[in-house]
């Protein structure tokens, strides 16, 4: 992990210093905000060339809901690694609620807002929201564990 001071926003090269995900499964493009003990905000630009959209669905591509959850989980993993730099990983442990309110399609920019609801030792409970064009696209409650 980088020893240089945190400078926001940061992009894919810096994100890859904090989480192990790589193309085609790296689902965040930029981190724009980080407040220790509170929140992280990340961006995912949805492109027609994203490999999972080729079959979901042909002629009418839609970002799968499970990958929207994964994008929020990846943002929370960056949060966890920024919060506890000596941890080796941050793993999704539970999704307790997920509501999808609008389709996410190629050309959309997902703004991933992850807020810490509670922390106990190395466990975090998060509230995640995805906005597209300032409209709520999904909201998810989930938890993660630092290792």
pLDDT (tens digit, 9 = 90+) per residue, 26-46? 999 999 999 999 999 999 999
Contact 118, 126 (CB under 8 A): no
**The model's pTM:** 0.95
Does 102 score more than 60 pLDDT?
Answer: yes
Q: Which residues are catalytic?
A: 56
Residue 39, C-beta contacts closer than 8 angstroms, at least 6 positions apart: 33, 79, 113, 114, 115, 116
3-state helix, strand, coil in the chain (%, to 5): 20, 40, 40
Strand, helix or coil at 50?
A: coil
Q: Which residues pair with 135 in a beta bridge?
A: 132
65 bridge partner residues? none
Q: Are strands 109-120 and 90-100 parallel, antiparallel or unpaired?
A: unpaired
Residue 114 burial (CB count, 10 A): 28
Do residues 143 and 127 make contact, with C-beta atoms less than 8 angstroms apart?
no
pLDDT bucket at 6, cuts 50 / 70 / 90:
confident
Domain ranges of the chain: 12-146
Q: Looking at 8-134, list the stretches that DSSP marks H as alpha helix, in order from N- to C-terminal side.
A: 12-18, 65-83
Percent of the chain with pLDDT over 90: 93
CA angle (38 as vertex; 65, 3 as ends), nearest 5: 95
Q: What is the predicted pLDDT for the residue at 76?
A: 97
**Chosen CATH of 12-146 out of 3.30.365.10, 3.60.150.10, 3.10.129.10, 3.40.50.300:** 3.10.129.10
Phi/psi at 3 (5° precision): -100, 0
């Amino acid at each position: 992990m980088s020893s240089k001071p945190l400078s926001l926003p940061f992009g894919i090269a810096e994100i890859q210093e904090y989480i192990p995900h790589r193309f085609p499964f790296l689902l965040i493009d930029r981190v724009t905000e980080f407040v220790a003990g509170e929140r992280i905000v990340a961006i995912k630009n949805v492109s027609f060339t994203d490999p999972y959209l080729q079959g979901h669905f042909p002629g009418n591509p839609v970002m799968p809901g499970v990958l929207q959850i994964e994008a929020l989980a990846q943002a929370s993993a960056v949060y966890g690694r920024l919060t506890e730099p000596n941890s080796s990983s941050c793993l999704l442990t539970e999704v307790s609620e997920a509501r999808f309110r609008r389709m996410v399609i190629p050309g959309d920019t997902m703004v991933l807002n992850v807020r810490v609801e509670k922390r106990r030792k190395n466990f975090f409970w998060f509230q995640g929201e995805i906005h597209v064009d300032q409209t709520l696209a999904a909201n998810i409650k989930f938890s993660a564990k630092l290792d």
